[in-house]
Structure 1
């Protein structure tokens, strides 16, 4: 059974937090690891709409799935993931900045930033 989910990001709306709480999972997010890439993507999407070029380019639809394409974004994600895994495997607390769900409830930053139906 899945016990830990680590996501990169800006928001974790792609993780079913209600299910994570129900099953006692831990959900952690390497916060802001890809913030520059997300901002770049939004600007390019806006430019594509303004110039009506979305029908000529396919990169817009594929770029949304990346977790930061720059080396610095990938480095931040790798470092954050390592820190989360080391804490989780050692049984020590994960930093509040990373936590969204832990012990069957919203935790850390997630307790202030997210809501659930559970």
Structure 2
């Protein structure tokens, strides 16, 4: 994960569990820029990582919309250059039409 995103998360007025949930989301988002777009299994795993981070966010934020706003900011910071934005769009295109089962239980990373 990028240091600038981690530093931004640490400045937010949130509890430790919420910051950990955002760090998990940032790692999942960063993986979209690194995954092999021709490897269906790797794409599936990246999608499952997003699912786990969203599930964790729902557990840690009383209002999911609050988590969603932070996740949107992380997404914008991750894709903050033309090259990164294009790569993120290619990831989303590669995942288009695929599905990921919503995870059960506590999916928050330690």
In terms of fraction of residues, the more strand-rich structure is: 1
**Which structure has the bigger radius of gyration?**
1
In terms of fraction of residues, the more helix-rich structure is: 2
Could you tell me the TM-score, scaled by structure 1's length? 0.26
Could you tell me the TM-score, scaled by structure 2's length? 0.27
